[in-house]
């Protein structure tokens, strides 16, 4: 009997669904507020998105190549269109890289960015959880700006 | 060859880790702000926590009993101590109920609260994703109040 909570493919679909909702959240921001609005000394939503862009695909590529290089959140995108273009560029690359993972790798430990040593399924859950976390902060920014965020169920 | 992304037990541990971080987040709020502070017309963090308390365990119990009754977020807890006590009461009950799930149930469809028809693993991911989402909104409230939230890695 299998004890799988979900399969390799089901996780990918769930994650890409979240990525689609995050894309819609970026789209809701007025250009200026995306790069300037912040609450309580936190980063702008553009900077939170740059963190996501510099973690998931680079981390996944590191796992595939078994490299533990560090990361940099200092990305060059300076407009909403550029952020969305980079988001869209990464979408098929994430799917492609993820499909190279072998099922027996998921419980194996990997030292993400040379800093976070955990089983590979935990590294991947972190990519998704961290995205849900920062997107939700974008929801508060949108509400504070008087803008209705996308429905949580829209994927 | 297994194609499991993670096992039934690994998901429970990951979820309960998130629940532990959410508990720490509740603890960081001053009593008054927990029930009064809000941004942009959103709910207070106490009300967001009541949503979580009225979804995960009741939803899970519904899945186990195969009942599709509705839910109510209108819970009676009126102090931080009462919210934390209810959180702690639910912790072992979630573990106990979850362990009654049979692995073959995860891909089966279940009409959560008579409203959200999806595979059971998606219902369970929703409980967790929704918690990460609302907890992250609590992080923004804490920052706006000048209070440092718990580290995202503390589980």
Q: What does the pLDDT look like over B77-86, one tens digit per residue?
A: 999 999 999 9
- The predicted model gives A107-130 an average pLDDT of 95
Say if CB B20 and CB B155 are below 8 A apart. Answer: yes
Say if CB B61 and CB B100 are below 8 A apart. Answer: no
Residues of chain A contacting B, Cβ within 8 Å: 1-11, 14, 18, 39-42, 103-104, 106-107, 119, 121-122, 124-125, 129-130, 132-137, 139-146, 152
Given an 8 Å threshold on Cβ–Cβ distance, is B133 in contact with A125? Answer: no
Q: Per the annotation, does B18 bind a ligand?
A: no
In CATH, the number for domain B12-144 is: 1.20.120.450
On whether ipTM exceeds 0.90, the answer is yes
Given an 8 Å threshold on Cβ–Cβ distance, is B129 in contact with A2? Answer: no
> Both tokens of residue B141?
């409230």
Average pLDDT over chain A, rounded to an integer? 95
pLDDT band of A68, cuts 50, 70, 90: confident
Check whether A1 has a pLDDT greater than 50: no
In whole angstroms, give the CA distance from residue B155 to residue B18: 6
Closest by CA position to B128, among listed A140, A17, A129, A149: A129
Q: Quickly list H helices, chain B.
A: 8-28, 31-36, 45-65, 80-98, 120-144
- The predicted model gives A50-78 an average pLDDT of 93
pLDDT of residue A70: 86
Check whether B68 has a pLDDT greater than 50: yes
Chain A residues within an 8 Å CB radius of B42: 140, 143
Residues 6 or more apart whose CB falls under 8 angstroms from that of B13 comprise: none
Using CA atoms, how far residue A47 sits from A127, B25, B29, B130, B147, in Å, is 16, 23, 26, 23, 21
Using CA atoms, how far residue A44 sits from A38, A39, A47, B134, B136, in Å, is 5, 8, 5, 19, 15
pLDDT of residue B47: 98
Check whether B1 has a pLDDT greater than 70: no
Average pLDDT over chain B, rounded to an integer? 95
Chain B residues within an 8 Å CB radius of A39: 39, 140, 143-144
Torsion angles phi and psi, residue A116, rounded to 5: -120, 95
Q: Quickly list H helices, chain A.
A: 8-28, 31-36, 45-65, 80-98, 120-144
pLDDT in tens, A24-33: 999 999 999 9
Given an 8 Å threshold on Cβ–Cβ distance, is B8 in contact with A7? Answer: no
Given an 8 Å threshold on Cβ–Cβ distance, is B2 in contact with A4? Answer: yes
pLDDT band of B117, cuts 50, 70, 90: very high
Chain B residues within an 8 Å CB radius of A2: 2, 4, 103-104
Given an 8 Å threshold on Cβ–Cβ distance, is A4 in contact with B1? Answer: no
Say if CB B85 and CB B75 are below 8 A apart. Answer: no
pLDDT of residue B2: 55
pLDDT of residue B81: 98
Q: How far is A51 from chain B (nearest CA, A)?
A: 14
Check whether A143 has a pLDDT greater than 50: yes
Q: Three-state DSSP class for A119?
A: strand
pLDDT in tens, A22-57: 999 999 999 999 999 999 999 999 999 999 999 999
pLDDT of residue A2: 55
Closest by CA position to A23, among listed A72, A75, A73, A91: A91
- How many residues does the structure list for chain B? 155
Does domain A19-29+38-144 sit in CATH 3.40.1710.10? no
Percent of chain A with pLDDT over 90: 87
pLDDT in tens, A83-101: 999 999 999 999 999 999 9
> Both tokens of residue A47?
């900077």
């Amino acid at each position: 009997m299998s004890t799988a909570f979900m399969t390799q493919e089901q996780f990918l679909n769930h994650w890409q669904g979240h990525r689609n909702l995050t894309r819609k959240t970026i789209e809701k921001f007025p250009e200026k507020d995306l790069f300037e609005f912040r609450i309580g000394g936190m980063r702008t939503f553009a900077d939170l998105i740059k963190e996501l862009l510099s973690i998931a695909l680079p981390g996944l590529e590191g796992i595939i190549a078994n490299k533990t290089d560090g990361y940099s959140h200092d990305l060059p995108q300076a407009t909403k269109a550029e952020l969305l273009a980079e988001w869209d560029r990464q979408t098929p690359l994430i799917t492609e890289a993820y499909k190279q993972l072998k099922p027996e790798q998921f419980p194996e430990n990997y030292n993400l960015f040379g800093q976070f040593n955990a089983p590979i399924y935990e590294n991947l859950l972190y990519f998704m959880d961290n995205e849900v976390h920062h997107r939700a902060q974008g929801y508060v920014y949108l509400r504070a700006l008087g803008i209705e965020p996308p429905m949580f169920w829209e994927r």
